[in-house]
Amino acid sequence: MNCSRRRLLRLSGSLLLLSCVVNEVHGDNDVVITMKGTHRGERVWFEPKGVAIEPGTTVTFINRDPGNSHTVTAYHPEIFDRVRRIPKAAKPFDSGYLLPGQTFSLTLTVPGVYDYYCVPHEMAAMVGRIIVGSPALEDWDDSALGAGGVRGDVSAQFPSVRAIFNAR
């Protein structure tokens, strides 16, 4: 295939425009977490599995798994009577089922540890952790770290707070 200079410039301009639209939709300070899976569906995951953000940051989840629907669901008694694994002052969240290409966004303001999972794929260890703020904050809530309520092999998949901060 022969690529002319004009075609290359047009393609570059289109890519630049697309990146501006993505930044406009998600904002410069927003965080994107993708839901992924292998082509045959034998493995599913959130990427990244752990993130650290500042209070007030919007997190957008995008289902990039062409073969599965997924959820983003907080561990909380109000949702399927689960053990609370988010800060006491935080509101629970549940995206409902997201089809491939669909998104779910939430803005997290309460400092602390937020553990979440995908309803149909929790037993496949499709879990993640968001750290809002830092342990140095006076009102930081890390009660999720000792809350239990998940199988040991699933619990082992949550990245440590230290690992999340080191990845910043």
- Domain annotation covers residue 10: no
Q: What is the radius of gyration, based on Cα positions, of the chain? A: 18
26 or 42: which carries more pLDDT confidence?
Answer: 42
- Domain annotation covers residue 110: yes
- Domain annotation covers residue 82: yes
- Domain annotation covers residue 6: no
CA–CA distance, 103 with 135 (Å, rounded to integer): 30
Q: Catalytic positions, please?
A: 76, 118, 121, 126
For the stretch 65-118, pLDDT in tens is: 999 999 999 999 999 999 999 999 999 999 999 999 999 999 999 999 999 999
The CATH number for 91's domain is 2.60.40.420
DSSP structure class, residue 91: P
64 with 34: CB under 8 angstroms? yes
Q: Which residues pair with 115 in a beta bridge?
A: 129
pLDDT of residue 42 exceeding 60, the answer is yes
- Domain annotation covers residue 69: yes
- Domain annotation covers residue 7: no
pLDDT, residue 15, reads 37
65 with 100: CB under 8 angstroms? yes
User: What is the percentage of the chain residues whose pLDDT exceeds 90?
Assistant: 77
**pLDDT tier at 14 (50, 70, 90 boundaries)?**
very low
CA atoms within 13 A on the CB side of 60: 16
pLDDT of residue 41 exceeding 50, the answer is yes
Across 1-5, 14-18, 41-45, least confident range: 14-18
pLDDT of residue 18 exceeding 80, the answer is no
- Domain annotation covers residue 71: yes
Encoded tokens for 112: 């602390």
**What range does the domain containing 150 cover?**
28-166
Torsion of CA 132, 133, 134, 135, to 10 degrees: -80
Place of tokens 């609370």: 84
- Domain annotation covers residue 16: no
DSSP 110-130: S-EEEEEE-GGGGGGT-EEEE
19 or 140: which carries more pLDDT confidence?
Answer: 140
CA–CA distance, 158 with 111 (Å, rounded to integer): 18
Backbone angles phi, psi at 164, to 5 degrees: -65, -45
DSSP structure class, residue 143: G
**pLDDT tier at 4 (50, 70, 90 boundaries)?**
low
How many domains does one find in the chain?
A: 1
Encoded tokens for 107: 């803005």
Report the candidate in 135, 90, 82, 134 with the shortest Cα–Cα distance to residue 108.
90
